[in-house]
């Protein structure tokens, strides 16, 4: 079926934190047809998890019961539909979208260079960077149901908000039609400036998942965390970054349990000292380890 299902696969190879237990089953379909066949071959009760670059994902040490579908290799097409519209498949890295829009002389896609994931993940959480966010540019999407049925929907069918998109369990994004403004004068300078800003403010030299917490209304999670003196706080090899307080980095041998415990500690400390209940951006899935 052009998508061999592997068993007992370490998820540390598929997450940007480089931690996580083993997936019971994992598949990397070569295209959407293979994906349809995989989904229809599984028992209806089988849990399915869609993963891109694993950059917003914490897999617990006990691993995942069910099947993980990794889209970053198979769903990688990009095409220009007209002067303002492009169709991008869910496995395309956001940084690639920024570069291709530049080649197409389309303005407004620079912010994608600051999102460390795939378009599928960006759609699932309305990811954003540098003052812009994904769904401001979405015209329509294609997604696939747990049973392997593909549906196309207008963006207006979704009630999208800051870092939140209501998606029924088992649904996975396949592609999106995005709109940008044609601009023959667009240059690489905008992307260079954003990437330089990102490198100067984020701990890109260590495994991380990007921002851990959503910004509360009228404030920034990083400011609140730093105000509580949590920069550099560690549990095992999981550390609140000294470069950006809303990042948790893996100093080398962190376990998922260390990262999750640190997330809880940061949340509880900020809540106790400021009264603000920070919500996580990171998706946490899987089973606790046997020693937890």
Selecting among 16, 209, 211, 241, the annotated active-site residue is 211
| CA dist., res. 57 & res. 16, Å (int) | 8
- Within a 13 Å sphere around the CA of 97, how many CA atoms are in the beta-carbon half? 34
Q: Running DSSP on this structure, what letter comes out for residue 12?
A: G
> Can you say how many angstroms the Cα of residue 42 is from the centroid of all Cα atoms in its chain?
25
- Within a 13 Å sphere around the CA of 25, how many CA atoms are in the beta-carbon half? 17
Selecting among 25, 60, 163, 255, the annotated active-site residue is 163
User: Do residues 225 and 246 lie in contact, with contact meaning Cβ atoms separated by under 8 Å?
Assistant: yes
Selecting among 28, 89, 133, 281, the annotated active-site residue is 281
| CA dist., res. 11 & res. 2, Å (int) | 21
281 is annotated as an active-site residue: yes
User: Do residues 275 and 252 lie in contact, with contact meaning Cβ atoms separated by under 8 Å?
Assistant: no
Catalytic residues: 163, 211, 281
């Amino acid at each position: 079926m052009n998508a061999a299902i592997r068993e007992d696969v370490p998820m540390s190879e598929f997450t940007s934190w480089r931690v996580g237990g083993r997936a019971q089953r994992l598949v990397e379909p070569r295209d959407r047809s293979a994906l349809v066949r995989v989904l229809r071959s599984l028992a209806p009760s089988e849990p399915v998890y869609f993963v891109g670059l694993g950059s917003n994902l914490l897999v617990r040490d006990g691993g995942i019961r069910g099947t993980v579908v990794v889209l970053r290799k198979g769903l990688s097409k990009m095409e220009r539909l007209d002067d303002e519209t492009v169709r991008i498949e869910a496995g395309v890295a956001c940084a690639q979208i920024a570069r291709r829009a530049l080649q197409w002389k389309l303005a407004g896609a620079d912010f994608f260079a600051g999102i460390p994931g795939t378009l599928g993940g960006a759609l699932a959480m309305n990811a954003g960077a540098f003052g812009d966010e994904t769904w401001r540019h979405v015209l329509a999407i294609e997604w696939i149901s747990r049973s392997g049925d593909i549906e196309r929907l207008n963006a207006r069918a979704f009630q999208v908000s800051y870092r939140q998109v209501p998606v029924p369990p088992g649904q996975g994004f396949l592609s999106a039609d995005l709109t940008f403004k044609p601009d023959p004068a667009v240059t690489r300078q905008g992307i260079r400036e954003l990437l330089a800003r990102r490198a100067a403010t984020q701990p890109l030299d260590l495994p991380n998942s990007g921002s851990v917490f959503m910004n509360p209304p009228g404030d920034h999670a990083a400011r609140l965390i730093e105000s509580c003196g949590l920069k550099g706080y560690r549990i095992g090899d999981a550390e609140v970054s000294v470069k950006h307080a809303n990042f948790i980095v893996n100093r080398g041998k962190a376990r998922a349990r260390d990262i999750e415990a640190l997330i809880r500690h940061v949340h509880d400390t900020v809540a106790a000292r400021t009264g603000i209940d920070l919500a996580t951006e990171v998706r946490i899935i899987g089973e606790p380890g046997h020693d937890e």
